[in-house]
Amino acid sequence: MNLDVLYHDNQILAVNKPAGLLTQPSGTDKDNLEDRSKVWIKEAKNKPGNVFLHAVHRLDQVVSGIVLFACTDKALSRLNADMRAQKFTKIYHAVVSGTPPQNEGSLRHFLIHDDYRAEVAKEGDPDARECLLDYKVVGTDLRAVRSSTGGALGESALPNTTLLEIQLHTGRYHQIRAQLATIGCPIVGDEKYGSKVKLSGGAIALHHARLTVIHPVSKADLVIEAPYPDHWPVV
């Protein structure tokens, strides 16, 4: 079972999701992280019967990084309450084309979920939802991108690119992807939002790199980190 487990105890499971894999079942027979994780728990714990496991948050299929699961109903209830109270700290890394207007700053937009895309709207428009994030430039010397087969695409494949660290304050549909594209910095590989670069396997260069949560039982601060996937830039 190909599963990159980052943290596990009786209450929670954190897994590093590869790009291209669904987070949860879709009502079809498509492979997904939740089903893989249930099999892993069943085997690791030698657990008979059904396994309780529920995603506390989701990642888009094309995005990689940390997904947190609750392993008990109590953990799920407490983690959901903490997420609503904005007690989670979610840090993403993204490789974008171009350079933001400042080395660090905040973005505020209003987005509408429209036909598998997030579209920028005006404040007060029907169904428009406020989206907030902070970003800072981490690096601009992106020398090469590794493909999923280990081969480098080369320097010429990624001219004028920037590595950003992003902290989410809201969790809207395609929020990071749409907001960065709106300021002229589409995520590398994200053709839906204007990227001219195609990455292996339909992945985009957006990765949930660090998650800080309060453990639902011990109440200790728990920091979970996920390494970059192979298709990511060498910086």
3-class DSSP state of 142: coil
The answer to whether 23 and 32 are in contact (CB under 8 A) is yes
Domains and their CATH numbers in the chain: 5-234 (3.30.2350.10)
CA 34 centroid distance within chain: 15
3-class DSSP state of 15: strand
Q: Is pTM, for the whole model, over 0.75?
A: yes
Output the six-digit token pair for 31: 């492979």
CA distance 135 to 107: 8
CB atoms within 10 A of CB 195: 21
The answer to whether 22 and 33 are in contact (CB under 8 A) is yes
Residue 37, amino acid: S
Based on C-alpha coordinates, what's the Rg of the chain?
Answer: 18
List per-residue pLDDT tens for the chain, 235 residues long: 579 999 999 999 999 999 999 999 887 888 999 999 999 999 888 887 889 999 999 999 999 999 999 999 999 999 999 999 989 999 999 999 999 989 999 999 999 888 888 888 899 888 889 999 999 998 876 665 554 434 444 444 566 889 999 999 988 889 999 999 999 999 999 999 999 888 877 899 999 999 999 999 999 999 999 999 877 766 5
CA distance 205 to 186: 10
